[in-house]
Every structure is written in structure tokens, then in C-alpha cells.
Amino acid sequence: MSNTINKPGITGWLHLVFGVGLLITFFLPWVSWSGMPVTGAAIATGDFFKTSVAVSGPENPFPKLAFSFYIFWLIPLLAVISVILVLLKKKVVPFSFIGGSLSLALITVYFFFTTTLAVDFSIGNNVWGMLKISAYLHALCAAGLILTAFPVKTWLPKFVWLLLGPVLAYGAYQFGEKQVMAETFTTTDKVKADYTIAANDLIREFMANDTATNKKYLDKTLVVNGEVSAVDMLPDSTGTIKFADSTGSYVIFSLEKDQLNQVKNIMPGDPVSLKGVCSGSIYSEILGTTSISFKRAILNLK
């Protein structure tokens, strides 16, 4: 049987438009977290969780599985394939089904993750205000790509592909969120520090060679000593302590709820020793500054 479609007609041209739209919007900002734009491609490039940590949000609960996010590079690839197949008057299934479903899965992750940032981490007012128009357009193009896929004429398989991505993504997200929330500061308290360093020295080391320093400190337990530049206590009884230098670069520690009573009287300018697990750094091209984040942080009282 031939794979050639003689006259895809308006369905084919709509499919082409949705494919081009999917490709373009994938690389546009989908959300803004504390003024930092996050593109649809950020999860595939590795910038998604780096930006989250930079705004004091959660990090990747499964860093060893970070390579699995490369699967989302299939979205622009499958969009291009679908467009080419339309122009060649060939069947677009299953490429369009897979590309559209992956896109809807990715949108689902962005939506629920941004909701978590707004509700649990007080980053932004609400998810709707943080989502960008390109995210809605991407979702529209993804759904359109599935619904106009040909030569499938029945609605059942299209309906299944519409739901498949979001359902799987929601299940995976809920599992990952539980892993993040399960992390407690007691683990840090029992672990011996790999390094002890002054905050300003740590910032200088990251700024001098970001790649090498990330490799050195990532997922290591550090004791960092410095003068507090900012203390932020959040509504959910968690908080952060920041050490900043004269360039605007900073080290930020995300504290657990159990630390509230010990840190609530700390003020900017106080000398403090903190112990936490390094989540790495992120460089802001807009601000020209480096932020270094730590999770599961506690006051170092030893």
C-alpha cells in the first residue's frame, strides 16, 4: 500500500501550520520565574532546573536521570518531519502523534511545576500570570498536530494520544514532587562536610571557572562561612539565607522548616556558618552575575 496522500487538502495545510508553530514556540519563553524566562527547550538543554534553583525553587530530584530529558529534542525534530511529510504528501502518522503527545506532556510538567513554585515556594503570584502566550500557542499547535494527523479518520486514537502525554507527565511529576518533599535537613546534619570555604572565595572560584567548579562541588556537602546579605522567611515556614559579594553574585541556601526557630533571629550583616549540599551554579547573561545554590541547608553549629 502506498504511503502517498493524493490530496491532503485543508487538513494537510493546517497540519503544516501546526508543525511550524510547534517548532517555533518550542524555543520561545513559556514561563517567567522571578523575572527569569524559561523556554520550552530549557528542560532539554538542562537550564530548567538550574533556573529553578537560581530562584530558590526545587532542583531535579533525579539528577542521574537528567539525560532522559534529551527525549524532548524529539519535539522540534518530529515537527520538522511532519512538515516535510505534508509537503511530500506522505502519511504523517505516527510522527505527529508522538510529537504532539510529547509536547502536551512537556506543557503539563511546566504547568504543575510553575504551580508548585507559586504555591509552595512563593515564587510569583499564580501560575496563570507566570505562563507566557507562547506556552498556550505550543499547546494549541500540539493538539492541532494530533487532531489533523492523517490518514487517520477515527477520533478514538487521536483522543488517546491527546490524553497520553499529560496523564503520563502528571503521574511522573507527582512521583518526583514526593521525592523532593521527602528530603530533610537531618541528612545534612549527619553527613561530614567535604569542603569548608568562605562565601566570597566560593563565589570567586565559580566565576573563575564555572565548569570545573561545578564538577568539583556538585552534590557535595559544604560548610560555607560568610556575612549574611539577606534572609527570606517564606509563608510555608521555609526560608533562604543569601551571601552576596560586591558584583551582585551570590550563594543562596534553601533551609528546611525544622531550621525556622534557629534562623528567625538572623539579620543581614550577621556572621553565619551554613552547611548544605551544593546544587551548582547558574550564570545570568542579563544581570552578568552568578548564583550558587544549596539544598537541605542547616546552621552549622559544630
Domain check: are 262 and 170 in the same one? Answer: no
Q: Which residues contact 274 (CB under 8 A, 6 or more apart)?
A: 223, 224, 225, 241, 253, 294, 297, 298, 299, 300
Residue whose C-alpha is closest to residue 51's, from 61, 63, 37: 37
Asked, for residue 92, whether it belongs to a domain, the answer is yes
Domain check: are 172 and 27 in the same one? Answer: yes
- The model's confidence at residue 182, banded by pLDDT at 50, 70 and 90, is low
Contact (Cβ atoms closer than 8 angstroms) between residue 139 and residue 31: no
Domain check: are 164 and 190 in the same one? Answer: no
Residues in the chain: 302
What ranges in the chain are assigned the alpha helix state H? Answer: 9-26, 42-45, 47-54, 74-87, 95-120, 127-130, 133-147, 155-182, 185-190, 199-208, 210-217, 260-263
Give residue 121's Cα distance to chain centre.
14
Q: How many domains does the chain have?
A: 2
Q: Against a cut of 0.85, is the pTM above it?
A: no
Domain check: are 131 and 216 in the same one? Answer: no
Residue range(s) defining the domain that contains residue 243: 186-299
Residue pLDDT, tens place only, 232-261? 876 655 678 999 999 999 999 988 777 777
d(CA 45, CA 226) in angstroms, rounded, equals 33
- The model's confidence at residue 147, banded by pLDDT at 50, 70 and 90, is very high
Domain end point (choices 162, 182, 202): 182
Asked, for residue 1, whether it belongs to a domain, the answer is no
Q: Which residues contact 62 (CB under 8 A, 6 or more apart)?
A: 176, 179
Residue pLDDT, tens place only, 89-133? 889 989 999 999 999 999 999 999 998 888 767 687 788 889 999
Residue pLDDT, tens place only, 60-89? 777 777 889 999 999 999 999 999 999 988
Residue pLDDT, tens place only, 183-203? 544 467 778 899 999 999 999
Mean pLDDT over all residues of the chain? 87
Domain check: are 143 and 95 in the same one? Answer: yes
Domain check: are 210 and 272 in the same one? Answer: yes
Contact (Cβ atoms closer than 8 angstroms) between residue 291 and residue 281: yes
Residue pLDDT, tens place only, 36-60? 999 999 999 999 988 988 887 777 7
